[in-house]
Structure 1
Amino acid sequence: MLSARSLFQEIVDCDDSFQLFCSIAASGEAQGGWENGRIAALVPESMRELAPKITRHGADEDKHGRLFNALLRKRQLDPVPVPRATDYTMLLEQRGIGLAHEKLRRDEPLTEQDIVVYLSHSRVTEQRAADQMELLVRYFGEHPELGTAVRMIREDEENHLAYCHEELLRLAAAGHGPTIRRVLREAALAEIRVHRDVSLAVMAHMGRALHWSKARSAVLAAGIHAKYAYERLGGWRRMADLRMPERRGALDGPATTAPAF
């Protein structure tokens, strides 16, 4: 039976597909860690109170990258190069999601507008991350090899999402509402296209590693296209709404560690 659970289990059970999965995840998390670190260093003086939270966000992303690499080491596997078509963060940047790396490499303070855009983009991408980790916890939360790592990452992603909601609502109340609404819509519509393209590319690579039949690959591709159609017709709105989270001050304090890894 073809189900999400059986699909994930097949990927986890095969060293080649597991190696690619963890390498893609580790690379994306490490990239997010670098970006948040640079943004924290360049926050304008008028918004310096956000710097510790952005720093913690980046530290969490770095930790996630180390967790995925630790999962590889447990199997005595090395990270592999990430195929360009599966590089979610790079493709998002090409679509204008996230602050340009050229800007982040310069030692020039960002503007308040930059921070509003950054938080809006983060709200969208953190929704995707939280949804994906929720799925992994549902299937592998008690897995002896993966359980601890996916539960830890899921907890962090929920904190990141709560932080984005809370800070954007505060900024909206301070007069940035029109910009936030516009950027959230643009970012959500761009993200769902990137997510579709990356999902198709990842499934193609997994299919080769796992020797899937053309028929099975076609069914999975059709499912990805169907999800994109749903999101394009209105499902994207869940990635662009704002509501006060139950977790307030989710990124206050230092980042948590992962001593088990």
Structure 2
Amino acid sequence: MLSARSLFQEILDNDDSYRLFCSIAASGEAQGGWENARIAALVPDSMRALAPRITRHGADEDKHGRIFHALLRKRGLEPLPVPPETDYTMLLERQGIGLTHDKLRREEPLSDEDIVVYLSHSRVTEQRAADQMVMLVKYFGDHPEVGRAIRMISNDEDNHLAYCHEELLRLASEGHGRTIQRVLRESALAEIRIYRDVSLAVMSHMGRLLHWPAPKAAALAAGIHGLYTYERLGGWHRMISLRMPERRGALDGPAPAAPAF
């Protein structure tokens, strides 16, 4: 039976597919770490109080990248170059979502609106990350090789999502509500398309590595298209709602260490 559990188990059991999975994940986390570090450095004076939390967000992402590299080393594997069609972060940037790397490379302070855009974009992408990690914890949280890493990353992603909710609600109360609403909608509708395209690309690569028969590859592609249809018809609304989280101040303080990795 084709299921998320059996699919991921198959990827875990094969060194080539596992190498690709960890390489893609490590690259995405490293990009997130760099982006957040640059945003923290360029925060405008009017929002300087946010800088420590943005720095913590970036430190968490860097830690996740190191964890995926450590999982590769544990098997004696080296990371692969990430195929461009699977680069979720850069594909979102090309769609005009979030802050561009060109802007982040400059030494010019960001504007208040830039920070609102960053947090709104993050609320959408962190929802995706948190959902994925919840699924992985459900099926592989006790796995002897990856379970500890998955649980740690999932907890961090929940913190990131809580931080986005809390800060966006605060900014909405300060008069940024219309911008937040607009950027959330634009980001969510773009994200679900990019997630579909990246998922199809990743599954195509995995299919070649694992020698999937055509019917299996077609069934997986159909499932990805089905998820996109559901999200396009209304599922995307879960990515733009805002509510005060139970975890308040989720990114206060330094990032917890991960000495085991």
TM-score (structure 2 length as normaliser): 1.00
- TM-superposed CA distance for 1:220, in Å, is 0.3
Structure 1 residue 205 and structure 2 residue 211: aligned?
A: no
- TM-superposed CA distance for 1:96, in Å, is 1.3
Spell out the pairing of 1:220-231 with structure 2 (5 A cutoff): 220-231=220-231
Code of the aligned partner of 1:121: H
Partner residue, 2:167: 167
Partner residue, 2:60: 60
Partner residue, 1:157: 157
d(CA) in 1 for partners of 2:98 and 2:228? 21
d(CA) in 2 for partners of 1:98 and 1:156? 21
- TM-superposed CA distance for 1:256, in Å, is 0.7
- TM-superposed CA distance for 1:97, in Å, is 1.6
- TM-superposed CA distance for 1:221, in Å, is 0.1
Partner residue, 1:79: 79
Partner residue, 1:116: 116
Code of the aligned partner of 2:29: E
Code of the aligned partner of 1:108: E
- TM-superposed CA distance for 1:2, in Å, is 0.9
Partner residue, 2:235: 235
Partner residue, 1:25: 25
SS in 2 for 1:154: helix
Partner residue, 2:5: 5
Structure 1 residue 16 and structure 2 residue 28: aligned?
A: no
SS in 1 for 2:81: coil
SS in 1 for 2:232: helix
Code of the aligned partner of 1:247: R
Code of the aligned partner of 1:102: D
d(CA) in 1 for partners of 2:98 and 2:173? 23
d(CA) in 1 for partners of 2:228 and 2:175? 33
Partner residue, 2:250: 250
d(CA) in 2 for partners of 1:257 and 1:97? 31
Partner residue, 1:134: 134
Q: Give every structure 1 segment of 4 or more consecutive aligned residues whose post-TM-superposition deviation is greater than 2 Å.
A: none
TM-score (structure 1 length as normaliser): 1.00
Spell out the pairing of 1:87-126 with structure 2 (5 A cutoff): 87-126=87-126
Partner residue, 1:43: 43
SS in 2 for 1:22: helix
User: Could you list the per-position Cα deviations for residues 138-189 of structure 1 after superposition, in whole angstroms to 9, with x for gaps in the alignment?
Assistant: 1110000001100000000000000000000000000000110010001000
d(CA) in 1 for partners of 2:197 and 2:151? 27
User: Could you list the per-position Cα deviations for residues 175-214 of structure 1 after superposition, in whole angstroms to 9, with x for gaps in the alignment?
Assistant: 0001100100010000000000000000000000000001
d(CA) in 1 for partners of 2:112 and 2:13? 46
User: Could you list the per-position Cα deviations for residues 7-42 of structure 1 after superposition, in whole angstroms to 9, with x for gaps in the alignment?
Assistant: 000000000000000000000000000000000000
- TM-superposed CA distance for 1:98, in Å, is 1.7
Identity rate of aligned residues, in percent?
79
Partner residue, 1:196: 196
Which blocks of at least 5 consecutive residues in structure 2 are unaligned? none
Which blocks of at least 5 consecutive residues in structure 1 are unaligned? none
d(CA) in 2 for partners of 1:10 and 1:233? 31
Aligned CA RMSD, in angstroms, stands at 0.4
d(CA) in 2 for partners of 1:4 and 1:148? 19
- TM-superposed CA distance for 1:83, in Å, is 0.4
Task: Number of aligned residue pairs: give it.
Answer: 261
